[in-house]
Amino acid sequence: MREELLSTFGTQFEQPLIDEIVAVGKLVEVPAGETIMDIGNYVRFMPLLLSGAIKVLREDDEGDELLLYYLEQGETCSVTMACCMGQTKSEIRAITETETKIVMVPVPKMEEWMAKYKGWRNYVFESYHNRLNELLNTVDSIAFKNLDQRLVAYLKKKAQVTNDDCIRNTHQEIAYDLHTSRVVISRLLKKLEKMKKLVLHRNHIQIVDL
Amino acid sequence: MREELLSTFGTQFEQPLIDEIVAVGKLVEVPAGETIMDIGNYVRFMPLLLSGAIKVLREDDEGDELLLYYLEQGETCSVTMACCMGQTKSEIRAITETETKIVMVPVPKMEEWMAKYKGWRNYVFESYHNRLNELLNTVDSIAFKNLDQRLVAYLKKKAQVTNDDCIRNTHQEIAYDLHTSRVVISRLLKKLEKMKKLVLHRNHIQIVDL
DNA sequence: CAATTACAGTAACAAAGGACACAAACTTAT
DNA sequence: ATAAGTTTGTGTCCTTTGTTACTGTAATTG
């Protein structure tokens, strides 16, 4: 665990901070597709992502979903963090997109380190900053773009976080993430295929040139 | 300035912190409708809102706007804060909705106080927390609600922050905030008037029962 | 291998919202 | 008071997106 922490956080965390994380943190490996945090849950641990990717989504009262953003190596979930501090329930759901390695840090340590380590403070701030910016991008995309543009951006981003040109999802799954219907996604994907930007198969999509 | 700081922040800030703010902060009074922060500007001061309300909005490349949320008494702009820390340009525009009193704090102090005062740390965190939640609400509303619901929510919120049942705006102005067209807003407002939820006048709207 | 289920393609239609055009009412400046 | 500009109301048409229904085909299961 020490080596992995060092390679991901070595430049921003002080040595004694790394030591403390090793001492109190719990390393967990999670396969793809697991819900590691759900709406309404109380948050007792803060996750530091060592490898893999996590998708963070929002749900409304009717159970409709919307993908907010992905978390990648070295990142943490600020929304979760905010919940820790405020002792409130989680406002979001987090699902592993790929296999991931996570260090779980108990919440009380967060505050302690905040006063103690400049590296930690900066990290926490940067995380908030990044999350706010991601959320702003999400707002931009749903407010200012139409579905074809959003779909293209979604496919690109997905290919990036999974490090795979082949999107291994059904149209229905994509529709859930973008909060629309399967038929609409099939329609738009077909259009993209006709434009030679991708090739459609059952259960997966081969990106050619987006 | 001390009295105003005390009445707004007295319970959460330590006495010596208040003293420091009084020493380095600059109190400004801004009339309604002023742009106090614009997209692309560098951020040199962090605003603490003593009274009044500020609307925070986002703009895309074509100049289309969208209201993100309002800041009210005791709040600060976390997006701005994030920009301070990261030395990046502002991602948003902030316009006074009413007359406001603001204390401007130089950015370097922020970091200093972060290590020094628990009250400040908590305040900064709570601000981030609140802003993230507001942004989540914004996402919810544009992703999951249709325009009539968004319009009603907008009018309610506006009445709340201005503390006035009468919305002193043209349909065009409302349309900008909700990122739609004037015609659409006129249409929906007329519908609400027929439902006896409000009364329309030139340049203002009287809320009856939303 | 037959039956069932999951996935994708497509047509037809509906609804929400946006674009354009124009008229009427009101305000302001000259 | 007249002219010009601003604000609002309304009709028509268009685009985007959502809905329903039905088909074919691949995958899975008994």
The angle subtended at Cα A182 by Cα A179 and Cα A188, nearest 5°, is 90
Residue B13 has pLDDT above 80, yes or no: yes
pLDDT digits (tens, 9 = 90+) for A131-182: 998 999 999 999 999 999 999 999 999 999 999 999 999 999 999 999 999 9
* A128 with B82: Cβ contact below 8 A: yes
A172 CB contact with strand C at below 7 Å: yes
Residue B137's pLDDT band (cuts 50, 70, 90): very high
Q: Do B144 and A114 touch (CB under 8 A)?
A: no
Q: Is the pLDDT of residue A10 over 90?
A: yes
pLDDT at B20 over 80: yes
* Residues in CB range of B30: below 8 A, 6 or more apart: B36, B52, B96, B99, B100, B101, B102
Quick check: B117 pLDDT over 90? yes
Average pLDDT of span B115-133? 89
Q: Is the per-residue pLDDT at B64 higher than 80?
A: yes
Give me the CA B205–C1' D10 separation in Å, rounded.
Answer: 19
Pick from A69, A56, A125: nearest CA to B79: A125
Identity of the highest mean pLDDT range in B47-51, B113-117, B129-133: B47-51
The domain spans of chain B are 2-143, 145-207
- Work out the number of other CB atoms within 10 angstroms of the CB of residue B33: 10
B181 touches strand C (CB under 7 A): yes
For residue B7, pLDDT beyond 90? yes
Mean of pLDDT values over B99-114: 91
pLDDT tens sequence across A68-116: 999 999 999 888 777 766 667 888 999 999 999 999 999 889 889 988 9
Give the pLDDT confidence score for residue A86 in this predicted structure: 67
pLDDT given for residue B44 in this prediction: 84
Q: Which of residues 70-109 of A touch strand D (CB under 7 A)?
A: none
Strand partners, A131: none
User: CB contact, 8 Å: A140 with chain B?
Assistant: yes
A191 touches strand C (CB under 7 A): no
Q: How far is B155 from chain A (nearest CA, A)?
A: 19
What chain B residue is nearest to A120 in terms of C-alpha separation? B115
Q: Please check whether strand D approaches the CB of A180 to within 7 Å.
A: yes
Its CATH architecture, for the domain A146-207, is: Orthogonal Bundle (1.10)
Chain B partners within 8 Å of A78 (Cβ)? 128, 132
**Of residues A74, A95, A90, A80, the one with CA closest to residue A176:** A95
Contact list in A for residue B60 (CB cut-off 8 A) is: 140, 143-144
Distance A181 CA to D20 C1' (A): 12
| Domain at B145-207: CATH architecture | Orthogonal Bundle (1.10)
* pLDDT tens digits along A22-70: 999 999 999 999 999 999 888 888 999 999 999 999 999 888 999 999 9
Query: Residue A201 has what pLDDT?
Result: 96
Bridge partners (DSSP) listed for residue B66: B58
Contact A140 B64 (CB under 8 A): no
**Which pTM does this prediction carry?**
0.92
Which string of b and e fits B132-153 if b means at least 16 CB within 10 Å?
Answer: bbbbbebbbbbbbeebeebbbe
Which residue in B59, B130, B139, B145 has the most chain A C-beta atoms within 10 A of its own C-beta, making it the best mutation to test that interface? B139
- Higher-pLDDT residue of B81, B35: B35
Confidence of residue B86 (pLDDT cuts 50, 70, 90): low
* Nearest CA-CA distance, residue B5 and chain A, Å: 23
Enumerate the nucleotides of strand D whose atoms come under 7 Å of any protein CB: 6-11, 16-21, 26-27
- Region B138-152 average pLDDT: 96
pLDDT band (50, 70, 90) for residue B205 = very high
CA A60 remoteness from chain centre: 19
Task: Please choose, from the candidates B132, B131, B87, the residue with its C-alpha nearest in 3D space to the C-alpha of residue B107.
Answer: B87
Kindly list the distances between the CA atom of residue B78 and the CA atoms of A36, B38, B167, in Å, as whole numbers in the listed order: 27, 14, 27
Instruction: Provide the pLDDT for residue B81.
Output: 77
Calpha distance B55→B134 (Å, rounded): 12
Q: Is the CB of A184 under 7 A from strand D?
A: yes
- A137 near B CB under 8 A: no
| Contacts of A7 by beta carbon, 8 Å cutoff, 6+ apart | none
Q: CATH second-level architecture of A2-143?
A: Sandwich (2.60)
